[in-house]
Structure 1
Amino acid sequence: MLETSARLLRLLSLLQAHREWSGADLAQRLGVTPRTVRRDVDRLRELGYPVNASPGTGGGYQLGAGAALPPLLLDDDEAVAVAVGLRTAAGSGIEGVGETSVGALAKLEQVLPDRLRRRVSALNTFTVPMLRAPRSPVDPSVLTELAAACRDSERLRFAYRDHSGATTRRTVEPHRLVCTERRWYLVAWDVDRDAWRTFRADRIEPRPPHGPRFPPRTPPAEDLAAYVSEGVSSRVYAARAVIRLHVPAAEAAAVVGPLDGVLEPDGESACLLRTGGTSLDVLAVHVAMMGLEFEVVEPAELTGHLAAIRDRFSRALDRSARSGGGGTGAAAAGGNCAGES
């Protein structure tokens, strides 16, 4: 009996870890016959776990959605990760998650063994998160719908609102969700435009039904985070530039965020920044306000805008000195010129 119970727990863990299993694969993992797997699946169903089965050579077993949420099986590291993740979820940019996370965390901590509760408590007590409020919250149901479509390789239909407020109907083959510190993006193949596109999740309004399924395509880049970063910080702008920063890429990364541009190492003591802005004037100010030594690689016209800004500051300092305004410096507030499509 004890052996059977342990096997049922192992079977449930496998079903939760993978979307679909063939009977032969489960039998091999559990070290039993396919007939035993069928009996164990029936036992799980009797316990209230909705295990779906599809016949045929391409069929298999899949843990379905039930009327009630069954217990999850988590190992020690997974339980700690979930608890810590719930604590920081308030800054994830998902609308309404903060209050829900508190309730879920309370339930989880109630059933955690003492050894794990101490680990979670230590991380919570001695960790100070630096979280910024999301710019545009995303409805959690929209996010989960997008994630499910990516997982199932299912065509997705939605209304998309652009930066001007205009709405278009889109049909895409979703690939991945990419999240920055303050926004979520969907990387997908746009069926009508026959090209890869990046969509802000907060501007997506799903329009089911979705489908059919599609064979996955080769992604637009191996590093999707860099791909999205380049798209939202430079590709969408008419004014683009390549700047050589005279600091190592790791040092520049402390100043240049994903929405500011894409960094590429350029030797041991320099790196290249690919960025964009609404105009060359905006780009010039943006780069100058980073506080890093730099030079313009391209376009050459940007150097003229930098010279104009230099002369403007010089004239301002001269006027301030003549009027007794101090003349020892100038205060400027810089902002992020990068944005999203």
Structure 2
Amino acid sequence: MASTSHRALRLLSLLGSRRIWQLRDLAARLAVSERTVRRDLDTLRELGYPILTVRGPDGGYRLGTGHTLPPLLLDHDQALAIAIALQTAPSSVFGLQDDTARALATLQQAIPDTLRAAMESLRLTTLQNYWEFPAPPIDSAALTVVGTAVRLRHILVAELLRADGTRPDPGEPDFTPPRRLEPHHLVVWAGRWYLIAYDPADHRWRVHRVDRLHPRPTTRGFAPRELPDGDLAHFVMSSHDRGDTPAAWPCTGSARLALPAHIVARWAPGGSVVEHLDTGHCRLILGAWSWAGIAGILATFDTDLTELHPPELLDACHRIAARYAGIQTTDSE
């Protein structure tokens, strides 16, 4: 009976994690027969849970509305994932330290002792890595406005901010009137939050960093459009107007690499900027404490380099190449 009850709780947890489950998928996840899953579904219905059957080729089972799930049906891995997410979220969204601490405490009070012990054992202390230069944290209110507009398909009015987060006044050279945008996707890439939106005023798609926007919601809807490039990651990386800037270092340089942008973006140090050029090339803009430091990082990609800027970076590469070329092999005898 204990095994049956545990399986029913797992089944309920699965139903709450996805809109529709097909019978074969539920059976595979629970490692039981489809007949057993049907019996467990009937058990949940007898307990008052609105398990609905969805007809059609893409149908299956889903959990209906109007009933509260039992307190937090989490397994060990889910509990750890939530603990990590809550403890690392404040580094990317401004003003969440107190909220995430309260949420973590609430979770620990609502889960079994074994899971609570696992979560409490994972107390993180986040240290600044030498290469980590995350983007400025985002105001949670602005993130909520943008995310809600994306979800509801509502026009968003947004003012463009400077890199330091200030709003230019009318008459200043960098002032632009507020834009009316059709927000389609909210994307996180390389530690930064981006809005992919269509600008009907000039009939083009744009990528905006959310921390560079002052958004205002509206209730005016719009019809969804198809991206010219259906790959969201490629679309963000290939955008030339997303407003990224490299982190502040004593030396900052750039080079054209004979590698795709998504490869370089995976291994580039935090605070650098990767620009998509074509399917086989990208430009990497990065900084270090010396020109030789930048040259050393570029060498780790083990690919052809061109268009190195500024001249000091090119000179550093030549000096390192000459130094390595002069290394003599030693006789071990």
Partner of 2:273: 261
Q: CA deviation at 1:137?
A: 1.0
Q: Does 1:109 align with 2:108?
A: yes
Q: In structure 1, what is the Cα distance between the partners aligned to 2:122 and 2:6?
A: 31
Q: CA deviation at 1:86?
A: 1.6
Structure 2 residue runs of 5 or longer lacking an equivalent are: 162-174, 246-252, 258-263, 296-304, 316-333
Over aligned residues, Cα RMSD in angstroms?
4.9
1:105-144 alignment, distance < 5 Å = 105-112=104-111, 115-124=114-123, 127-130=125-128, 134-139=136-141, 141-142=144-145, 144=147
Q: In structure 1, what is the Cα distance between the partners aligned to 2:234 and 2:204?
A: 18
Q: Does 1:185 align with 2:187?
A: no
Q: Does 1:232 align with 2:243?
A: yes
Match of 2:72, SS state, is coil
Partner of 2:208: 199
Partner of 2:81: 81
Q: CA deviation at 1:170?
A: 1.8
Q: Does 1:170 align with 2:169?
A: no
Match of 1:233, SS state, is coil
Further displaced range: 107-116 or 163-172: 107-116
State the AA in 1 paired with 2:184: E
- Please say if residues 178 and 187 of structure 1, whose CA atoms lie closer than 8 Å, have aligned partners that are also in contact: no
Q: Which of 274, 285, 292 in structure 1 is aligned with 2:284? A: 274
Q: In structure 2, what is the Cα distance between the partners aligned to 1:33 and 1:221?
A: 40
Q: Does 1:42 align with 2:45?
A: yes
Q: CA deviation at 1:66?
A: 5.4
Q: Which of 238, 243, 249 in structure 1 is aligned with 2:255? A: 243
- Please say if residues 177 and 186 of structure 1, whose CA atoms lie closer than 8 Å, have aligned partners that are also in contact: yes
Match of 2:243, SS state, is helix
Q: In structure 1, what is the Cα distance between the partners aligned to 2:202 and 2:60?
A: 36
Partner of 1:157: 155
Residues 278-331 of structure 1: CA deviation (Å, up to 9, x unaligned): xxxxxxxx96x752236894488x659x99xxxxxxxxxxxxxxxxxxxxxxxx
Q: CA deviation at 1:81?
A: 2.0
Q: CA deviation at 1:178?
A: 0.9
Residues 32-87 of structure 1: CA deviation (Å, up to 9, x unaligned): 2896576356346x25x6x6665544445444665867533221122022123222
Question: What is the number of residues matched between the two proteins?
Answer: 263
State the AA in 1 paired with 2:158: Y
Q: CA deviation at 1:24?
A: 6.5
Identity across the alignment (%) = 30
Q: In structure 2, what is the Cα distance between the partners aligned to 1:195 and 1:43?
A: 54
Distance 1:37 1:57, change over 3 A: farther
Match of 1:21, SS state, is coil
Q: In structure 1, what is the Cα distance between the partners aligned to 2:160 and 2:66?
A: 37
Q: CA deviation at 1:124?
A: 1.4
Match of 2:187, SS state, is strand
- Please say if residues 20 and 62 of structure 2, whose CA atoms lie closer than 8 Å, have aligned partners that are also in contact: yes
Q: Which of 144, 148, 151 in structure 2 is aligned with 1:145? A: 148
- Please say if residues 173 and 191 of structure 1, whose CA atoms lie closer than 8 Å, have aligned partners that are also in contact: no
Q: CA deviation at 1:253?
A: 4.1
Q: In structure 1, what is the Cα distance between the partners aligned to 2:227 and 2:39?
A: 34
- Please say if residues 209 and 243 of structure 2, whose CA atoms lie closer than 8 Å, have aligned partners that are also in contact: no
Distance 1:76 1:299, change over 3 A: closer
Q: In structure 2, what is the Cα distance between the partners aligned to 1:143 and 1:177?
A: 11
Q: In structure 2, what is the Cα distance between the partners aligned to 1:189 and 1:37?
A: 47
Q: In structure 2, what is the Cα distance between the partners aligned to 1:111 and 1:19?
A: 24
Q: In structure 1, what is the Cα distance between the partners aligned to 2:63 and 2:201?
A: 34
Q: In structure 2, what is the Cα distance between the partners aligned to 1:205 and 1:27?
A: 46
TM-score by length of structure 2 reads 0.56
Q: In structure 1, what is the Cα distance between the partners aligned to 2:69 and 2:147?
A: 16
Residues 123-176 of structure 1: CA deviation (Å, up to 9, x unaligned): 316x344497944413253365367x3xxxx745322222336222222432x5
Q: In structure 2, what is the Cα distance between the partners aligned to 1:173 and 1:105?
A: 31
Distance 1:218 1:132, change over 3 A: closer
Distance 1:66 1:226, change over 3 A: farther
Q: In structure 1, what is the Cα distance between the partners aligned to 2:274 and 2:144?
A: 31
Match of 2:83, SS state, is helix
Q: In structure 2, what is the Cα distance between the partners aligned to 1:94 and 1:52?
A: 40
